[in-house]
């Protein structure tokens, strides 16, 4: 068993309005069976109401769409975990409650990458977490310090990110040259694994997932953060349909001090990412900015729609040369998809990053649903 200390200043609370209503009614008294039954009935009725609305409701005002969209997503979080954990710590968006010091046990491997191994963990409170671990090289002090500094940068970024479409950060520990980063556990798996299990996504589901990816990316960009490695493996799915962006090992914060003065031409000249999802400017090392994430969004949408990223029929080096040369057109979505979907991917995969739309602009594209059911 290991332990880590969680700072309450690094926690955040997301509570469903329906759930909060029942907590208010309960007050300091017990959560009786009657209250829980009423809550369950209310949730079921909300699901039935949402299903009856349909994908589009032109009579619904924009303000109502925007306010209900966030409420519907918050509703998708694990409220029964919140009920079970009420009154003992800080409630996180996944229903996880942390005391100041948490004991945990390492479980199976959830994934491996260039920046560490992610394990499933079980806390002493009986809750599942994701733990990213990196073993520092104890034989090379300089290399260990460099790696530790990089991990500190990742942690500092994660601490500041509070959004429903960004994985929740819980805490860190350093024990015997092993750095652990504790995060919200997302049981649905990655979008890449979902595609592997179920095949390419139907257009309606594709659009709903794309909307949430864009909202997460827009949040990052307004906070001067660029992800630099968006792809199906780094987009996770909650069982409720909520999308979470993960793996900020490559992410960087733009260097300008005030994000209001930043724009898409703020660039970082370093190569990061995965070949099939890389923008031309990354390959050519002409600078990476917010718009490079937009290219990766287009590749991820293509991946969700077809099961593979663009140019997957080529080997990695051939794909890099093709994208970097900017001489050939990127493939379009199959004819079975709507013109809106095809155009969305096309404008994301515009070679000149200055001509690519921003995440906020893409959220207004006709491919993106105007309300979420």
Return binding residues for ATP.
132
Query: What's the CA angle centered on 25, arms 70 and 45, to 5 degrees?
Result: 50
d(CA 12, CA 9): 8
d(CA 258, CA 221): 12
Phi and psi, residue 191, nearest 5°: -60, -35
Beta carbons within 8 Å of 39's beta carbon, 6+ residues apart = 18, 19, 22, 79
Q: Contact 273/233 with Cβ under 8 angstroms?
A: no
d(CA 89, CA 87): 6
Binding-site residue numbers are: 132
Residue 308: is it exposed, middle or buried by C-beta count within 10 angstroms (0-12/13-18/19+)? Answer: middle
Q: Contact 227/248 with Cβ under 8 angstroms?
A: yes
Of 192, 224, 230, give the one whose Cα is nearest residue 348: 230
Q: Facing residues of 244 across strands?
A: 236
Q: Exactly one of 72, 229, 247, 293 is catalytic; name it.
A: 229
Active site residue 142: no
Tokens of 338: 């709507």
Tokens of 208: 């709903």
Beta carbons within 8 Å of 156's beta carbon, 6+ residues apart = none
Which residues are the active-site residues? Answer: 229
């Amino acid at each position: 068993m290991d332990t880590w200390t969680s700072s309450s200043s690094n926690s955040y609370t997301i509570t469903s309005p329906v759930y909060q209503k029942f907590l208010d009614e309960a007050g300091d008294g017990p959560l009786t069976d009657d209250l829980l039954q009423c809550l369950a009935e209310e949730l079921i009725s909300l699901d039935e109401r949402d299903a009856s609305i349909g994908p589009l409701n032109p009579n619904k005002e924009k303000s109502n769409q925007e306010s209900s969209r966030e409420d519907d997503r918050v509703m998708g979080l694990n409220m029964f975990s919140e009920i079970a954990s009420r009154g003992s710590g800080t409630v996180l968006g996944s229903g996880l409650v942390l005391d100041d010091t948490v004991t945990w046990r390492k479980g199976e491997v959830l994934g491996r990458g260039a920046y560490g191994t992610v394990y499933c963990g079980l806390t002493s409170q009986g809750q599942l977490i994701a733990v990213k671990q990196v073993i520092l090289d104890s034989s090379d002090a300089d290399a260990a310090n460099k790696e530790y500094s990089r991990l500190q940068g990742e942690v500092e970024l994660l601490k500041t990110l509070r959004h429903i479409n960004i994985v929740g950060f819980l805490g860190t520990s350093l024990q015997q040259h092993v750095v652990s980063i504790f995060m919200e556990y997302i049981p649905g798996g990655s979008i890449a694994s979902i595609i592997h299990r179920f095949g390419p996504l139907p257009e309606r589901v594709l659009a709903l997932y794309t909307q949430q990816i864009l909202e997460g990316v827009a949040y990052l960009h307004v906070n001067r953060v660029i992800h630099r490695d968006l792809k199906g493996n780094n987009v996770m799915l909650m069982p409720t349909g909520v999308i979470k962006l993960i793996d900020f090992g490559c992410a960087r914060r733009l260097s300008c001090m005030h994000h209001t003065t930043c724009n898409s031409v703020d660039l970082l000249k370093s190569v990061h990412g995965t070949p099939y999802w890389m923008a031309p400017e990354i390959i050519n090392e002409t600078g990476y900015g917010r718009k490079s994430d937009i290219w990766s969004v287009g590749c991820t949408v293509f991946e969700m729609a077809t099961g593979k990223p663009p140019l997957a029929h080529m080997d990695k080096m051939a794909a890099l040369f093709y994208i970097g040369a900017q001489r050939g057109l990127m493939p379009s979505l199959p004819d079975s998809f709507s013109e809106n979907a095809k155009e969305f991917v096309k404008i994301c995969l515009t070679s000149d990053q200055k001509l690519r739309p921003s995440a906020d602009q893409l959220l207004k594209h006709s491919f993106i649903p105007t309300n979420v059911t």
